[in-house]
Structure 1
């Protein structure tokens, strides 16, 4: 319990509400700094005893001191705006230099570079933590926790071995060598008696219907999940391209100044009507006529500036240049509209030829992560996104068809060939839109696996019972364990409860060289290394691990709680 410990949360979001509730259950004192524009609806969802303080960006330091940051256990920057979260971390370092910070950001790698300077204990992306859970749910499995090592995630997943699965007949050791994943626990078909993998369980082959707990680097775990579900079996789903590296930050669409430039040029032309009307003594209609002929450089000669003063001739030059530039902008805009329409038609034709694919609604942070992970595994994906200029549309369009349209409309779902889809994932930020789209899909495709993103837990439970939605998940619920674990424990231990099996997963930095005998002793006690990173390099699966670990190597450990805690205590 956290009685007497204070936690300061900056920013109010769905994730902030989840974290505040989780800390309140542990009897912690929670103080929330509310920014202008934060949703009032989320404020009402905070625990009753939560102290809420209004804060502006220019007074963060003062408000942090008012919130008692100097005596706080941890600060969590959990707003929806990454820049605001980074500002909060900088302000916290000024107000209380020793205060640990847990940071929410789309690009945790950026925060890692600032880790020492800003005392950032952990930095997580909510969408990166949640995306594996949505994919596993679409395959009928469950991600229990997702940890992070280097620039990649390490999920721990519970799955049932299905008929025709490549896991059938494999021993845990063979799963590690063939698929790069560690097997942590197993249970009979009824999942009533979970047990760690040690002793004779290491050499016992997996049987159909048996439940297993696997973990490893994200790409390896997703490969096991998809193949176990039959999505990547020989035949229907061949890999269309080599697997790409772990998700990286996309090239973001830059804001353009063209609207401002076009408005300025239009203002110059409007001003020139008044100027020429006054200087050349023209009627308003004649002045408009002359401006148009000058701007388009038509030059009929019936009205000219030949006898006008020098300043008027120079002004005429400005009008000609402005008109030419404005015409260029106009034609480029019309060409862009035609190209976008042609591209949407092309994407629609690609989608119309698909079968057994995944239809994804919503291309926000979560939708982008899910689409990228699925395409990296070789799955065919069609994306429906309402906004034509969505942030990630350009990045995803090179991987999968991106159709512009509202997923709630049946005609748009038909464009995405939802009748032939294997699964549908409603991942927009609008819970109602996700539910409506899922209900339409269920009517036209009763066999599809349907996953809805829903924030309200009670509503999510009713949806699965009343509307035949296979599973309703919340991205914030999938990620809350990581943020709370990092805030309450500097080692960020993550407890896993699977039946009667009590496990702990964590990131561990090797302080002293470990011989092969030490690693074998860990394995004998049921502790598995799920991933490792040598000397700050890239993340590697456990199958690539040699016989020993060197000082500075980072690993993800998971195993029985008492065994992992003993390892952590011995440093």
Structure 2
């Protein structure tokens, strides 16, 4: 049964208007995505949540609806305060971008409750009139089932689906797009406007979480088989010069006197980094770290995560040190006996060695008629043979035990240092583990559940793993926390992450720490307290939903997202846009189209429109073996005076509000969206 529509304060009970956005989910990502659509892009939103308590925060007895209402209420109040400070009044628009929505704040948000997104529920939510639908349940099967239903109810609907299984996601995208094309024969595929997009919050957030364990790390964005590397650079010292890169994407809040800067919590109120600064700001920002577009290289097939310790177990791990010394002693005795045989019998070296080995293995004839020296050597060889037998048995047993445990979890080796301690091997922790191993960073994993999702991966990668409750004494010590370079606390329980962080800091005060916290206010308080108590140590608090929501929101707006780069607690987006319909771009030069703090044109797709790759993020088809690689149509060294034309497609770097302004103005001026008849 469909639950009641639960209006927020001062919300009129009206059906959803055409062109609204629907978000269906059961965790924090759904709520943050709805907030992003409403308060960044100014869209009308219908939020469908399951009834009952919030599973994300079992310690706090709040329902999904209660958390969503509180979140929208805080955002509405913040927007009203910002509007009053600017003298413009409150509103739900984005950054002064205008728009056709005259209702502000929570009035444009509709919250519904239902256990499942069934046909009746989606029809009640207005899926037949909606512009886009996001299915972000934490269950892949539920998302797929709802996507098939929604595509049948509205073939024109733009779908954004959250799936952890990446291969299945690729097949699902093709299937749903094909279903839309069959349901609307003769319709221009361009009108579908990115019909189906499959994303993973784990894949979106993992690079940012892994990057917190590094200093001067690089983030990689892929576009048409090319890799864009955005490198974080520390402030140069006096007299030093650094390569400015292709362009400066951001100025960090860190300075030479404060390496940690003001960054930390995703929701802290401190002044953060400056995204897409102009030349004057870059020149005036002495002593601040930067994020620069450093290099562009051709993408290669995915590099698998490397195993720790190589593909096989080394000899030192197969046989113990005591056994190796025993074998060396037996070998030395054999050599000594062979030398003694040569010296006493005046026989050849080869023949003396042969007789010694026969005696050692009890295969030689008794030297009854031989000289006394030969008889003594034979007795000593037999004695050495008796010592060899237990040595061979021990070697077999140790080798068998090593092979038996090779498929089990490894323990942290004694001399390990400079590694990252990773707490939790759920969906997020597993993706972060893969990312760290792709970067060849040594990792030690701590997981309480021996049947956790990422345990088989840790076993296959030979990653040292400690099974135990991290809050229990001795568990972090077993993970060699005293010699670790960083701690990533990524379990789904805030108190567990906090307790592990506090204990690790008590053991090693300068340890670099990144912890995953659910509640925004709690994360801000924890970050500020840890920064005050340990000013020389790097502390970061991260929210997976905060990192992933911008990419999901832009996909719902119907534009192609190439990637999202977190810059401290802010997010910079890379997207591909058609110039047509954007007055901020069309008819302007590249230099004129640049707006500091909003967007910047990075590249131009020179491929003719009819031959363009519809998915710039996908690898182009590789040439036959031995043949030349197909040239890329993207031009990165654009002349500042190049005039952008309507038929051009560009790759831009933009802030969330900057991209929202481009998309909102496009939606309010595009005749296609206003005059297109619905079927």
Q: TM-score range by the shorter chain?
A: 0.5 to 0.7
| Unaligned ranges ≥5, structure 2 | 1-15, 56-61, 71-108, 178-194, 256-271, 307-400, 532-537, 581-586, 595-599, 605-615, 624-628, 636-647, 671-679
**Contact 2:248/2:276 (<8 A) preserved:** no
Aligned residue for 1:447, secondary structure, equals coil
Residue matched to 1:483: 552
* In structure 2, distance between residues paired with 1:157 and 1:477: 22
Is 1:421 aligned to residue 490 of structure 2? no
Aligned residue for 1:102, secondary structure, equals strand
RMSD over aligned Cα, in angstroms? Answer: 5.1
The structure with more helix, counted as a fraction of residues: 1
**Contact 2:222/2:562 (<8 A) preserved:** no
Residue matched to 2:201: 126
Distance 1:485 1:3, change over 3 A: farther
Matches within 5 A, 1:360-439: 360-399=422-461, 400-439=463-502
Residue matched to 1:160: 234
* In structure 1, distance between residues paired with 2:304 and 2:440: 14
Distance 1:495 1:439, change over 3 A: closer
**Contact 2:224/2:620 (<8 A) preserved:** no
**Contact 1:427/1:452 (<8 A) preserved:** yes
* In structure 2, distance between residues paired with 1:448 and 1:219: 36
Is 1:212 aligned to residue 291 of structure 2? yes
Is 1:76 aligned to residue 172 of structure 2? no
**Contact 2:220/2:227 (<8 A) preserved:** yes
Distance 1:417 1:344, change over 3 A: farther
**Contact 1:129/1:153 (<8 A) preserved:** no
- TM superposition shift of 1:139: 3.2
**Contact 1:244/1:376 (<8 A) preserved:** no
Distance 1:92 1:71, change over 3 A: same
Residue matched to 2:113: 53
- TM superposition shift of 1:464: 1.0
**Contact 1:13/1:80 (<8 A) preserved:** yes
Larger-gyration structure (1/2): 2
Distance 1:186 1:458, change over 3 A: closer
- The one of 620, 632, 643 equivalent to 1:535 is 620
Aligned residue for 2:492, secondary structure, equals coil
* In structure 2, distance between residues paired with 1:392 and 1:188: 35
Matches within 5 A, 1:168-183: 169-173=242-246, 183=248
Matches within 5 A, 1:462-501: 462-468=525-531, 470-491=539-560
Is 1:7 aligned to residue 65 of structure 2? no
Distance 1:87 1:340, change over 3 A: farther
Aligned residue for 1:172, secondary structure, equals coil
Residues 2-34 of structure 1 show CA distances to partners (whole Å, capped at 9, x for unaligned) of 997532222311211211233343362323052
Matches within 5 A, 1:123-522: 123-139=198-214, 159-161=233-235, 169-173=242-246, 183-185=248-250, 209-214=288-293, 245=303, 347-350=410-413, 352-399=414-461, 400-468=463-531, 470-491=539-560, 505-507=574-576
**Contact 1:368/1:392 (<8 A) preserved:** yes
How many residue pairs get aligned? The number is 426
**Contact 2:23/2:45 (<8 A) preserved:** no
Residue matched to 1:91: 149
* In structure 1, distance between residues paired with 2:64 and 2:403: 37
Residue matched to 2:312: none
Distance 1:138 1:496, change over 3 A: closer
**Contact 1:148/1:154 (<8 A) preserved:** yes
Distance 1:536 1:243, change over 3 A: closer
Aligned residue for 2:29, secondary structure, equals helix
Task: Calculate the TM-score normalised by the size of structure 1.
Answer: 0.61
Residue matched to 1:308: none
Residues 208-246 of structure 1 show CA distances to partners (whole Å, capped at 9, x for unaligned) of 7542344778999xxxxxxxxxxxxxxxxxxxxx99626
**Contact 2:223/2:562 (<8 A) preserved:** no
**Contact 2:446/2:466 (<8 A) preserved:** yes
**Contact 1:422/1:447 (<8 A) preserved:** no
Task: Calculate the TM-score normalised by the size of structure 2.
Answer: 0.52
* In structure 2, distance between residues paired with 1:218 and 1:442: 40
